[in-house]
């Protein structure tokens, strides 16, 4: 969460510097921070990988990434001033010798600047390498200063609760908790951060933000893309681990948390972990009542035929991996007792859209005769996270005319009307990591609680044999069972309603 200050001298060391994430997200984020004068006055970016490249060839690769993925296209003179800070270091993760050489490079940079710089170790590598990198960093004494040195860990953080605990234990042998930045890029999204401002900087909403006024809450993260080139990873993950365990549960925390006393990282994280602890654990025998899963069949998206999940590259043709999940959660605390929180996410859905919808209770007594259905008359607050970013409040208003007839109307805050460009999530998060602000990163207990929430579902799904996959066509809103899941309560998925 940015203040107006810049970080002190910083060296960013990217393990996996030749990988997709570095090219697609990390370097464009650093470049845009540089353009907007957020990078430290002294900074260096060292990319690591085994691919034989020299500095100039590495910079050229990253430049291609900027052209393709950056929200601002690279300007020649700006790129020329940015690129000397980038260098490449050929290294094998498992070889201790590489880290000794890296130590020399880091020390030389410190000597040149005349100061011990902050070191930000970014692990943009497959999770199987986290232990080797951490142990070797420790052996080579690269992270000797708990105040200056930090490590950023990408998702997935563990494969289940047990492995997440093991990973936390392993990391804390080298790093203190305050040095560990577990990234969840949803927390860096502008609209997700705005939930905190919306809830806690306005007196208007807090009094009604509870079970007395809110009927139910929905969170949808729908993607049009399929599994793309990530079949190998996704087969071992599925939508529950890939999206619910992290992004959707983190957003749920922002919606449901109690007002924090301050905006200190620990305070915010304490309030969020309270929410995760309050989520009622689903018993194995109840999983079918609370959760549904799906897998896409072939279908049509925007006029193009797209293949079924089982026909995607690196996917088992008899795969049981879910590409769609919908879950009904309850929170056992005073604020939210008996308010359903519906979470759903899926690939190959009809629209790309991520949004939160708060459905308010109906008026206690209906004064007006109206042709609209009751649920359509209820107030509704929608926070559109992406691709369109806005906050919309639906209320009933009188239809212009001589009769007293009602119509829904909307008050809209539209980000498109703001003059400043919206930063990418990785820009916010990388800046925070450089500044040492962990507010938007996950603490160990948050990750473990989030795994705990999904464990029963995960275990039942992994052990159940008969599946009727594929059960939704690509280009639709997912399996029919997801509609049934909430129809039982007389509820309806808001996005479907919205797009009709």
Ligand X SMILES: NC(=O)C1=CN([C@@H]2O[C@H](COP(=O)(O)OP(=O)(O)OC[C@H]3O[C@@H](n4cnc5c(N)ncnc54)[C@H](OP(=O)(O)O)[C@@H]3O)[C@@H](O)[C@H]2O)C=CC1
Active-site annotation, residues: 247
Cβ contacts of 298 within 8 Å, gap of 6 or more: 305, 306, 307, 308, 311, 473, 474
Q: How many angstroms separate the CA atoms of 411 and 361, rounded? A: 18
- Is residue 93 part of an annotated ligand binding site? yes
Determine how many CB atoms are found less than 10 A away from the CB of residue 34.
Answer: 18
Q: How many angstroms separate the CA atoms of 174 and 170, rounded? A: 8
Measured from each CB, the residue nearest to ligand LXAUTJHC is 242
Q: Which is nearer to ligand LXAUTJHC, 163 or 370 (CB)?
A: 163
Residue 21 found at the interface with ligand X (CB under 6 A): yes
Q: How many angstroms separate the CA atoms of 132 and 371, rounded? A: 65
Residue 154 found at the interface with ligand X (CB under 6 A): yes
- Is residue 189 part of an annotated ligand binding site? yes
- Is residue 288 part of an annotated ligand binding site? no
Among 7, 10, 11, 18, binds ligand X (CB under 6 A): 18
The alpha-carbon radius of gyration of the chain (Å, integer) is: 24
Which structure tokens are listed for 397? 């208003």
Residue 483 found at the interface with ligand LXAUTJHC (CB under 6 A): no
- Is residue 483 part of an annotated ligand binding site? no
User: Are 447 and 164 a contacting pair, CB within 8 Å?
Assistant: yes
Determine how many CB atoms are found less than 10 A away from the CB of residue 199.
Answer: 15
Q: Which is nearer to ligand X, 47 or 479 (CB)?
A: 47
Residue 155 found at the interface with ligand X (CB under 6 A): yes
- Of 6, 12, 72, the closest CA to residue 39 belongs to 6
User: Are 449 and 273 a contacting pair, CB within 8 Å?
Assistant: yes
Residue 174's binding partner out of ligand LXAUTJHC, ligand X, none, with CB under 5 to 8 Å set by partner kind: none
Q: Which is nearer to ligand X, 183 or 391 (CB)?
A: 183
Residue 223 found at the interface with ligand LXAUTJHC (CB under 6 A): yes
Site for ligand X in 96-125 (CB under 6 A): 124-125
- Is residue 17 part of an annotated ligand binding site? yes
Which structure tokens are listed for 115? 């100061």
- Is residue 188 part of an annotated ligand binding site? no
Which structure tokens are listed for 402? 């001589």
Size of the site for ligand LXAUTJHC (CB under 6 A): 4
Q: How many angstroms separate the CA atoms of 179 and 172, rounded? A: 9
Site for ligand LXAUTJHC in 144-163 (CB under 6 A): 155
Minimum distance, C-beta of residue 91 to ligand X, in the bound complex (Å): 6
Q: Which is nearer to ligand X, 72 or 94 (CB)?
A: 94
Among 154, 190, 215, 242, binds ligand LXAUTJHC (CB under 6 A): 242
Among 93, 255, 265, 474, binds ligand X (CB under 6 A): 93
User: Are 124 and 84 a contacting pair, CB within 8 Å?
Assistant: no
Cis preceding linkage at 185, omega within 30: no
- Is residue 155 part of an annotated ligand binding site? yes
The DSSP output letter for 445 is H
Question: Element (H or E) spanning 120, and its range?
Answer: strand 118-123
Q: Which region, judged by CB under 6 A, interacts with ligand X, from 10-18, 333-341, 373-381, 480-488?
A: 10-18
Measured from each CB, the residue nearest to ligand X is 19
Which structure tokens are listed for 73? 């296209």
Size of the site for ligand X (CB under 6 A): 20
Q: Which is nearer to ligand LXAUTJHC, 113 or 233 (CB)?
A: 233
User: Are 127 and 166 a contacting pair, CB within 8 Å?
Assistant: no
Q: How many angstroms separate the CA atoms of 496 and 84, rounded? A: 50
Beta strands in 448-490 (DSSP E): 472-473
Among 9, 16, 63, 122, binds ligand X (CB under 6 A): 16
Q: How many angstroms separate the CA atoms of 193 and 215, rounded? A: 24
Q: How many angstroms separate the CA atoms of 369 and 252, rounded? A: 36
Residue 50 found at the interface with ligand X (CB under 6 A): yes
Q: Which residues of 405-442 are buried (b: 16+ CB within 10 A; e: fewer)?
A: ebeeeeeeeeeeeeeeebbbbbbbbbbbbbbbbbbbbb
Q: Which is nearer to ligand LXAUTJHC, 242 or 449 (CB)?
A: 242
- Is residue 438 part of an annotated ligand binding site? no
Q: Which is nearer to ligand X, 49 or 475 (CB)?
A: 49
Minimum distance, C-beta of residue 74 to ligand X, in the bound complex (Å): 20
Among 126, 212, 289, 366, binds ligand X (CB under 6 A): 126
Binding residues: 16-23, 50, 92-93, 155, 185, 189, 223, 242, 347, 352
Binding residues for NADP(+): 16-23, 50, 92-93, 155
Q: Which residues bind ligand X (CB under 6 A)?
A: 16-21, 24, 49-51, 91-94, 124-127, 154-155
Q: Which residues bind ligand LXAUTJHC (CB under 6 A)?
A: 155, 223, 242, 354
Binding residues for substrate: 185, 189, 223, 242, 347, 352
């Amino acid at each position: 969460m940015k203040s107006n200050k810049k970080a002190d001298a910083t060296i960013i060391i990217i393990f996996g510097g030749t990988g997709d994430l570095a090219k697609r997200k990390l370097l464009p984020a650093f470049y845009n921070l540089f353009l907007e004068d957020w990078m430290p006055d002294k900074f260096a970016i060292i990319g690591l990988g085994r691919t034989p490249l020299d500095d100039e060839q590495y910079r050229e690769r990253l430049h291609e990434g900027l052209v393709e993925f950056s929200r601002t296209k690279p300007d020649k003179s700006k790129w020329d001033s940015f690129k000397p800070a980038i260098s490449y270091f050929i290294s094998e993760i498992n070889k201790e010798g590489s880290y000794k050489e890296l130590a020399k490079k880091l020390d030389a940079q410190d000597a040149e600047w005349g100061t011990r710089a902050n070191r930000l170790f970014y692990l943009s590598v497959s999770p199987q390498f986290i232990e080797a990198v951490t142990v070797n960093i420790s052996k080579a004494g690269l992270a000797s200063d708990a105040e200056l040195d930090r490590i950023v860990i990408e998702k997935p953080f563990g494969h289940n609760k047990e492995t997440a605990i093991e990973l936390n234990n392993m990391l804390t042998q080298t790093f203190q908790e305050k040095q560990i930045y577990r990234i969840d890029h949803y927390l860096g999204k502008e609209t997700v951060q705005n939930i905190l401002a919306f809830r806690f900087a306005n007196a208007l909403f807090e009094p009604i933000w509870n079970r007395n006024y809110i009927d139910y809450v929905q969170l949808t993260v729908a993607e049009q893309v399929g599994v793309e080139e990530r079949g190998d990873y996704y087969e071992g993950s599925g939508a529950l681990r890939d999206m619910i365990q992290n992004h959707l549960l983190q957003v749920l925390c922002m919606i449901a948390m109690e007002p924090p006393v301050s905006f200190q990282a620990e305070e915010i994280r304490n309030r969020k972990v309270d929410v995760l602890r309050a989520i009622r654990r689903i018993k194995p025998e109840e999983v079918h009542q609370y959760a549904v899963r799906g897998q896409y069949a072939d279908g049509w998206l925007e006029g193009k035929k797209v293949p079924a999940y089982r026909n995607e590259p690196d996917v088992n043709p008899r795969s049981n991996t879910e590409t769609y999940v919908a879950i009904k959660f309850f929170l056992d605390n005073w604020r939210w007792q008996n308010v359903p929180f519906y979470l759903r996410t899926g690939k190959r859905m009809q629209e790309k859209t991520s949004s939160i919808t708060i459905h308010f209770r109906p008026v206690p007594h209906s004064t007006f005769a109206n042709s609209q259905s009751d649920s359509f008359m209820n107030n509704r607050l929608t926070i559109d996270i992406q691709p369109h970013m806005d906050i919309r409040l639906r209320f009933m208003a009188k239809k212009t005319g001589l009769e007293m007839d009602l119509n829904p109307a909307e008050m809209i805050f539209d980000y498109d009307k703001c003059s400043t460009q919206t930063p990418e999530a990785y820009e916010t998060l990388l800046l925070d990591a450089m500044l040492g602000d962990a507010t938007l990163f996950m603490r160990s207990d948050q990750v473990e609680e989030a795994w705990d929430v999904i464990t029963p579902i995960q275990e039942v799904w992994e052990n159940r044999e008969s599946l009727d996959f594929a059960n939704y066509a690509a280009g639709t809103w997912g399996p029919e069972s997801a509609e049934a899941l909430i129809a039982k309560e007389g509820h309806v998925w808001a996005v479907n309603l919205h797009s009709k």
